[in-house]
Every structure is written in C-alpha cells, then in structure tokens.
Structure 1
Amino acid sequence: MSWLVRYWGVYREFLANAFAEASSYRLHFVLLIVMDQLFYLSSLGSVSFIFDHVQSIGPWGRDEFMFFTAFMLAVDHLHMTFISESFWNFSFDLRTGKLDFVLLRPLNTLFSIFFRYIRPATMINFVTPWAFLIHFGRAVELGTWQWVSVPFLIVFSLMFLVSVEILISMLMFWTVEAFGINFLRMQLQNISRWPDFVYRGVARRFFSLVIPVLLVGSAPVKALLNPEEHATGLAWMLLLLFLLWGAIRLVWRLGLRSYESASS
C-alpha cells in the first residue's frame, strides 16, 4: 500500500497546482465552463434533433440512444478533467527536452506524463453530464445491479479510451510535432461517440478491431441494456485492454530508443 499512498500524495499536489493555476486566469476558467456546457447540450441536442425525424436508429429508439450519448458524455467529462490536457503537453516535453527531467523522477514515467495536467473548470462542471445520465438511465429502466455497474463501466470505458490514445500518442516520438497526432486522437474520440451499428463494412471492422474505439461506449452500454446477449462484448474489450497495455509497453521502449534528449 505504500506505493499507492506515495502516488496519491503526488497526485494531490498535481490537483493543488491545477487549481492554483486555474484561479490565476479567471476569465479562461469561466469560458471553459461555458464551452463544456455548450458541448454537452449540443451533443444531446443533435441526437434529439435526429429523433425528431426518425423513430429508431438500428435497434435503438430515442431513450436508448440518448442514454448512450449521456454515457459517453460522462466518460468525456472524466477524460477532459483528468487526462486530456496531458496529451497536448507531451509533444512540448519531447521538443524541448523537458522529458529528460520527467524520466529522472522517482515515479512511473507514464504516470508523470499522462496524469500530470488536470482541468478544474471541467471537474466542477459535472452536474450536466451526470444528471442526463441518471435521467436517461431511468428512461430505459435500468435495474439495481445495472445502476451499480454504471460507474464501474464508465471508468472501464475511460481506461480503454485512454489506453488507445496513449498508444497513438507515442507516435510523437517520431513525428515530434503534436498537432497531427492530437487531431487524429480527437477524431477517434468523435467516432467513439456513436454506437458501432451506425457504421458498416470495413469501417466498423477497422474501428472495432484495429483501432477499437467503437468498443468504448458500445460494448458497455449494450451490456447494460441487454446483458444476456452482450456480456461477451465486455470480455472481448477486457482482452483488448490487456493487449493495448502490452503494446504500450513495447512502443514506449522503442520510442525511448528514438528519443533525442536535450543533452544529446
């Protein structure tokens, strides 16, 4: 347990620094809150607009689709709060040689890189996504055990999404410049915000197997709505998660061999 206490102490300092920095730029802080609210409402509004013109999409009606969207917004809320900012700083560390100092820290380097930066404005903006998740969860009549499973599945989906993103972000060791990789990562997020059945053919297979972002929301939500038929999707997702962790470890080592530090 000592390592857990040590890492929690470090992460607590990350949180304190993030709030101190956010309080120094108050207008930026407020604008981030407004931006997040607009994103949540526009995402839900887009789906609602579609269902003003159709009765169902694939096997889902309005309530099921809106629950899926709310589930993905809850994942996005955690992602934007605790992870997202770090991807944009990784390339800066590579270009400037700041990664040298990160590698020397007595901490896991991936922890220092990808969990360092936190967005307090999004953290306190939790009411909207989670309120909609509860509202549409009630609309699809989730049972007791399904409600108990929801927070665990959201964290599981977040872990899966972040693992895919970390693996993709390691391409920065060779590209150095971050914009292309980060915009690719954001486009993959956009793909994951739709259930897998809206895609067909090669696209569906590619984003379910090669870059499996379609599993992020589709597998957990399907398992929640119909556990008898779709529980195996979670097992497949768990297997892929372990494979992703193995790939991250391998590519990280290859990347460090290609990394040219500021002192080299």
Structure 2
Amino acid sequence: MKRVPFTYEERNVKREANFLAHVDASGGKTIAKDVMPRTYKTLPKFLSMAEIKSLLTAAENPHHRMMMRLALYTGLRREEIAAFPLVYVFDPDKAGKTDRNLRIRLDPFDGSGMVTKGRKQRDIHVSRRFMSDLYRYVTKVRGERASLSKSPQKALFLNKSGEPYGDSGKSLNRIISQTGKQAGIKVHAHMLRHTYATQTLVSLQRNPASGLEPLVFVQRQLGHSSIQTTMVYLHLVNEMANEAVLAYDDELNALAEAV
C-alpha cells in the first residue's frame, strides 16, 4: 500500500475536569481518523413464546408470577412495576366498559404513588381479560402480604414483609433472574420489556386490520420520547423475518432434494 485509506483531522472534545486539568495543553482538541468503520448496535434480546411459558411455569410464587405477567402484558419498566398503584386495578365487569382493551393513565402527580421515567404522564392499554386477572389477584392473593403491613400500602405489589419494593425495583430484577435460572433461561427485568415490544410489534404487523400504526402504538405504550428509540424493535422484527425466510428456503431446498 502506498498510503493508508484515511487521513487525520482535529476534533473538539469535552473532557471532565480532574485534578490535573490545569496541565492539559491540548486545548480541548484531539487528533482522530476522518474515516471510521460503521459500528452496529447489538439488538435487544427477547423471549420466545415457549420461553415465556417456561418462565411463568417456573414462577411458583403467585406474587412474582403476576409481576412478570404485568411486565409481559404492558412493557412497563421495573420501577414502574414496583410502584404500580393498587387503585389502577378495577373490576372491568363493574366498570360499565365493554372494550376489549382498557386504557390506564399513568400519572405521577395523581397521588397514587405511580413512578414514570422523567415523571411523564402516559396512557397504556391492557386487555380486559388481564385486568380481570389483576383484579382477581387483588381480591384473592394480595391480602396475604397486605396483612403483614401495619398500614395500608398504595403499591399493588408488596414484598414478603408487606412493604412496597424499593430501590427502583432492583429486587424485581433479582426475582426474575432467579426464576429464569429455575427455568433454564437467562433473563432480566428489562428483557421482559423487550419481549413485550417485539412480540406486540410482530402481532400488530400481522393484523393490519386493527387500524393501529404498530411502531407508534409501541412507542406510546413504552413511553419513548423519540420513535427512533422504538425503531430498534422494528430492526429486530425485520431480522426475525429474514431468518424465517431463510429457514423456509432451506426447508424447501431440503424437500426438493428429497423428491
């Protein structure tokens, strides 16, 4: 090679002030290659339907199982699940609503104790059937832990001492990871959010008659400020489609060879 396929250019950089900042003579400048190879983000991992079934089956604790189901049905963040208010749960049969999907306003200012990223309000949708399951959990199961607390608690989910989960829901991550180990699956709380987003996007794309714009719906449900953040799931779905096409092609080739 007579020359390298790039040149160098001077760039401005921001550096945090430190103890020896006064001896830095660079003036906030650095030398970098003007052509750099494109980097690709690692696509988020999600659970297949078979893995979801295995995870929920391994969750023998009914409180833990319902927390996981809430994550899988709504895509809520772990801190949002930990703070999810009891007052958001109701009996859909007595609410005078016949819609298949019910809207819930997540409002950090309504006094319910709800927590959202950036303290932003947003609406989420849950199926009527799942709301019935949540209401059944409240009336049949939650009382076991609620009775351990000296005072009524606003949060839907309580720990084994009858208190709300603290530390922004970090303990939920431990619970989900441990349950995953029992099921033979490597999983964490945020992966359930990825699973909701991916599986919902696939479902909406398969059923265009729903009238919903798939990517916009998922963006609003997850509470992403920018749709660019949600686009990563579209890339993931497209990759899944490519793999499915290749697998189908391989099956056809194998069939042709056998004939």
- TM-score, normalized by the shorter chain, greater than 0.5: no
The TM-score with structure 2 as length reference comes to: 0.21
The structure carrying a bigger helix percent of its residues is: 1
For the pair shown, the structure with the greater C-alpha radius of gyration is: 2
